[in-house]
């Protein structure tokens, strides 16, 4: 990593940690998703199963690991314990178990060695493995919602949940965890990633036969377009599968998606919701930039030469653009990133979202070699 990157990242990390100490103190007992007028909301209680509920805990583990801040520790452990209620709600247990228990239970175990944290991670992994459809070789995404039939749905996001299974295999030596993760990654590689490197969000399979039925636009602009956060999940997710398996085709796939992403970054460096959205549409997704930046830095660990330099430089450019143009550094504002967008089709766009902050912080810590290994 170039010294100029590390100097900038070291200064940015210091600013982040200084602000986080105040954010942690103000937001004890909360599980944030977004912020209104700089104040975090709270997804405890009825929203305990929401898929983003692990990210603030992950941020608090970053804070505790780097500074020893006890409020950060209490917040992180408190969220992990609150998520125990999620285990008791069938409809809230889904493909996003990794997003919920990797930044909580797995991070806890990595830092403290807690037996309780390991138990939670294995419970979540076992539930995730139970969603595997052997006919199609995929992990089912959402549970049914009303009249919507999701039995054959799989999504690119799930590549980020597979490390929960890889880690379960590491601890239990039960090959089922590894086999399910690899089968899903193989299916995603063949069915989601297009020849030029763009990625589909949702693929629907026949749940009985495993036959590929169709792709859906999901949270992107139209079917066949390139939802930018999905591209980031692809870069990061396939890199993580390579990290845990050393299967070269996963690394090659991550590179192909990364090249597509780099080729489509706008000159101004700010990332749209979808690379294919109309030129007249100015909606951005800062979280897509943060996810891609952290994914590119992860990918750069496993490649060499010009590829390594290009991925690192692109990640730093994305992060610097966010830091200068889309970040709120004021200590009295709870969030960091602005102009995140969950979906192109939603009626509301460009607001703070907690995973945008998580991946922004994680990426800067990676440049300094200070990020926790929770994926």
DSSP for 105-136? Answer: IIHHHHHH--HHHHHHHHHHHHHHHTTEETTT
Query: Where does residue 78 rank: exposed (0-12), middle (13-18), buried (19+ CB within 10 A)?
Result: middle
Residue 227: helix, strand or coil by DSSP?
A: strand
CA-wise closest residue to 202 among 130, 263, 138, 256: 138
User: How many residues does this entry show for the chain?
Assistant: 375
Residues forming the active site: 96, 157
Is 215:202 a contact under the CB 8 Å cutoff?
A: yes
- Residue 136 phi, psi dihedral angles, 5° rounding: -105, -10
CA angle in degrees (0–180, nearest 5) for 328-56-139 = 120
Task: Find, among 245, 121, 235, the residue nearest to 181 by Cα.
Answer: 245
Residue with tokens 């590689």: 189
Contact 219, 345 (CB under 8 A): yes
Task: Please give the structure tokens belonging to residue 207.
Answer: 């749940």
The CA–CA distances, whole Å, from 143 to 148, 201, 270, 333 equal: 9, 17, 34, 35
**271: its two tokens:** 């990332």
């Amino acid at each position: 990593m170039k010294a100029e990157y590390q100097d900038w990242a070291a200064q940015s990390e210091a600013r982040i940690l200084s602000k986080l100490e105040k954010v942690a103190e103000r937001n004890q007992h909360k599980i944030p998703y977004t912020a209104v007028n700089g104040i975090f909301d709270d997804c405890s209680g009825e929203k305990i199963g929401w898929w983003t509920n692990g990210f603030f805990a992950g941020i608090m583990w970053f804070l505790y690991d780097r500074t020893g801040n006890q409020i950060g520790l209490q917040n992180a452990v408190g969220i992990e314990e609150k998520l125990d209620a999620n285990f008791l709600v069938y409809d809230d247990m889904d493909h996003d178990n990794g997003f919920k228990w990797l930044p909580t239970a797995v991070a806890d175990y990595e830092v403290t060695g807690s037996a309780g944290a390991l138990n939670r991670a294995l419970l979540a992994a076992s539930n995730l493995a139970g969603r595997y459809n052997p006919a199609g070789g995929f992990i089912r995404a959402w549970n049914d919602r009303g009249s919507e039939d999701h039995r054959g749905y799989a999504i690119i996001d799930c590549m980020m949940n597979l490390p929960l299974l890889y880690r379960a295999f590491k601890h239990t030596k039960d090959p089922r965890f590894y086999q399910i993760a690899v089968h899903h990654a193989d299916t995603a590689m063949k069915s989601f990633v297009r020849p030029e490197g763009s990625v589909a969000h949702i693929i629907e399979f026949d749940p009985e036969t495993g036959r590929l039925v169709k792709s859906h636009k999901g949270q992107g602009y139209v079917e066949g377009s390139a939802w930018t956060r999905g591209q980031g999940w692809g870069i990061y997710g396939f890199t993580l599968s390579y990290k845990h398996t050393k299967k070269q085709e996963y690394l090659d796939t991550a590179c192909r998606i990364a090249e597509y992403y780099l080729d489509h970054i706008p000159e101004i460096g700010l990332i749209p919701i979808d690379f294919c959205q109309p030129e007249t549409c100015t909606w951005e997704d800062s979280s897509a930039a943060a996810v891609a930046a952290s994914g590119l830095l992860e990918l750069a660990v496993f490649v060499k030469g010009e590829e390594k330099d290009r991925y690192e430089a692109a990640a730093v450019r994305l992060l610097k653009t966010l830091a200068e143009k889309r970040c709120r550094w004021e200590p009295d504002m709870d969030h960091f990133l602005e102009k995140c967008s969950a979906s192109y089709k939603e009626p509301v766009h460009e607001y703070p979202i907690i995973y945008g902050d998580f991946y922004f912080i994680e990426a800067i810590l990676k440049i300094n070699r200070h990020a926790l290994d929770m994926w």
